[in-house]
């Protein structure tokens, strides 16, 4: 039986075996968001090696990433450490992506390091990490289905391009049409940056910011050739000198279908030197909502002020800074500090339970009354249980407070939400109240 939640003064509902479902109007693209708080979220992303079926001659996946994970090596980050690889002409490198349809705004924060994890330039040129929009290739059987001249993409990356070892960090933009790559390099002087890519009216806007407040239109590309559904995600590449030393007519066949550890004949005849770590703090997607007067605007020629007024906004975190985030690495014990990124939540904290739907994460249970939290957010895939006789208390008085359930919330006890008037209370998934349980929502 569906129940619509109304916010009224001092009203308490008691439910017996009811399922609450509240529909919330959300942007089409926002469902793709990822705060990289759970290793379980890795299954939501596609790996180009798997999607295109790249295999080595020995029958192993031709993986161009030596290591990659979400929120394990670096809690709260997508982590990618590539082998020697490159995105150039017909060469394909490492790409972790989602598919997206229509126009969009994609924002992330990127941190680049050398392989030692130090804030230093990589020891080899063209070692960078960034974001890419790419036209999907129409094959799934690797080298058997691959044909030359089929790469179409735009990317923006940060790291070491063509500077010397003592030079500044750099940005590289690469615009590739039918495997014809044209690049632009500029000095940036920092190793951490916000990046944004906008697909709108056949134009790709590449933007950057140091602080997520002041944005710059870095480059624009006319790409009406890109299809309605594209791949958008994260690239890493490194060690161009090793690749260039082997450059010949067969380089794409060799590099695309091999990694430098899986083919001894290819890997032992040169001093390979991959030296890059890419870390990505979040993936945030927004719809493009143009005013009526700009619906047909040519953004290749549009004034930069107009572009910034439409797309130069700060990206907004899904929850407040300093929130207490469950990692579930040890058990389902709420009180075990090892199960949290930081410390066990106390009164006034905003609590986040990420996706627990994999063997690497335990789902929490609340087995004693909670302190009074300032917010509560169950992400997609999260599972949470309030045990019988236990109270979960959330007060939404503070700025940014919210009660959001995108996962599976099972209530055998009592959930009280106060100061709810005008605040976000969303249940877009499953909230089940069992016999004897109660859910109370009041405006004060």
Distance CA 297, CA 220 (A): 14
Nearest to 35 by CA among 141, 108, 120: 108
Contact 388, 414 (CB under 8 A): no
Tokens of 130: 């960034």
DSSP letter for 359, please: T
The domains found in the chain, sorted by start residue, are 11-26+319-441 (no CATH), 34-311 (2.60.120.200)
pLDDT digits 0-9 by tens, 255-310:
666 554 333 344 445 568 899 999 999 999 999 999 999 999 999 999 999 999 99
Contact 416, 440 (CB under 8 A): yes
Dmax (CA) for the chain in angstroms is 75
**pTM for this entry:** 0.89
The 10 Å CB-count burial string (b at 16+, else e) for 143-175 is beebeeeebbbbbbbbbbbeeeeeeebbbbbbb
Contacts of 20 (CB under 8 A, 6+ apart): 2, 3, 5, 427, 431, 432, 433, 439
Query: The tokens 């910011």 sit on which residue?
Result: 209
Query: The tokens 């942007």 sit on which residue?
Result: 27
What is the full per-residue pLDDT of the chain (444 aa) written as tens digits? 233 343 333 333 333 333 333 333 345 677 899 999 999 999 999 999 999 999 877 788 889 999 999 999 999 999 999 998 999 998 899 999 999 999 999 999 999 999 999 999 999 999 999 999 999 999 999 888 988 899 999 999 999 999 998 999 999 999 999 999 999 999 999 999 999 999 999 999 999 999 999 999 999 999 999 999 999 999 999 999 888 877 654 566 666 665 543 333 444 455 688 999 999 999 999 999 999 999 999 999 999 999 999 999 999 988 888 999 999 999 999 999 999 988 999 999 999 999 999 999 999 989 999 999 999 999 999 999 999 999 999 999 988 899 999 999 999 999 999 999 989 898 888 899 999 999 999 988
pLDDT digits 0-9 by tens, 329-361:
999 999 999 999 889 999 999 999 999 999 999
Cβ-based burial of 241 (10 A; exposed 0-12, middle 13-18, buried ≥19): middle
Contact 341, 250 (CB under 8 A): no
Instruction: Say how far residue 263 (Cα) sits from the centre of its chain.
Output: 32
CA dihedral over 224, 226, 232, 236, signed as positive or negative? negative
Tokens of 369: 């009354």
Q: Which residues pair with 203 in a beta bridge?
A: 200, 222
List phi, psi (to 5°) of 39.
-60, -20
Nearest to 91 by CA among 194, 176, 200: 176
Give the count of beta carbons closer than 10 Å to the beta carbon of residue 21.
15
């Amino acid at each position: 039986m569906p129940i619509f939640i109304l916010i009224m003064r001092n009203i308490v509902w008691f439910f017996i075996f009811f399922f609450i479902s509240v529909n919330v109007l959300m942007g089409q693209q926002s469902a793709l968001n990822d705060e990289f708080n759970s290793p379980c979220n890795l299954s939501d992303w596609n790996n180009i090696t798997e999607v295109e079926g790249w295999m080595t001659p020995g029958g192993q996946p031709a993986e161009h990433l030596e290591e990659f994970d979400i929120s394990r090596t670096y809690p709260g980050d997508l982590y990618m450490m590539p082998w020697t690889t490159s995105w150039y002409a017909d060469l394909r490198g490492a790409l972790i992506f989602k598919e997206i349809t229509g126009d969009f705004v994609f924002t992330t924060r990127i941190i680049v390091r050398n392989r030692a994890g130090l804030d230093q330039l990589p020891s080899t040129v063209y070692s960078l990490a960034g974001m890419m929009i790419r036209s999907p290739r129409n094959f799934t059987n690797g080298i058997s289905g691959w044909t030359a001249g089929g790469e179409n993409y735009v990317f923006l990356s940060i790291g070491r391009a063509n500077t010397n070892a003592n030079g500044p960090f750099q940005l590289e933009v690469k615009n590739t049409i039918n495997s014809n790559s044209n690049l632009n390099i500029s000095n940036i002087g920092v190793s951490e940056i916000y990046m944004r890519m906008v697909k709108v009216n056949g134009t790709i806007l590449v933007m950057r910011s140091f602080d997520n407040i002041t944005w710059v239109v870095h480059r624009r590309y006319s790409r009406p050739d890109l299809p309605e559904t594209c791949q958008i995600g994260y690239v890493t590449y490194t060690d161009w000198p090793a690749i260039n030393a082997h450059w010949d007519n067969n380089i794409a066949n060799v590099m695309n279908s091999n990694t430098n550890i899986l083919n001894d004949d290819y890997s032992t005849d040169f001093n390979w030197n991959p030296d890059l770590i890419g870390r990505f703090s979040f993936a945030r997607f927004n719809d493009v909502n143009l005013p009526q007067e700009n619906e047909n605007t040519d953004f290749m020629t549009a004034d930069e002020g107009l572009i910034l007024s439409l797309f130069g906004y700060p990206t907004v975190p899904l929850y407040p800074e300093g929130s207490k985030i469950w990692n579930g690495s040890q058990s389902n014990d709420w009180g075990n500090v090892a199960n949290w990124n930081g410390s066990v939540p106390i009164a006034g904290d905003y609590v986040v339970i990420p996706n627990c739907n994999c063997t690497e994460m335990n789902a929490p249970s609340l087995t004693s009354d909670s302190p009074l939290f300032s917010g509560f957010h169950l992400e997609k895939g999260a599972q949470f249980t309030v045990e019988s006789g236990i109270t979960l208390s959330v007060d939404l008085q503070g700025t940014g407070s919210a009660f959001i359930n995108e996962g599976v919330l099972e209530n055998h006890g009592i959930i009280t939400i106060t100061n709810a008037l005008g605040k976000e209370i969303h249940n877009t998934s499953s909230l089940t109240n069992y016999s004897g349980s109660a859910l109370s929502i009041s405006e004060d």
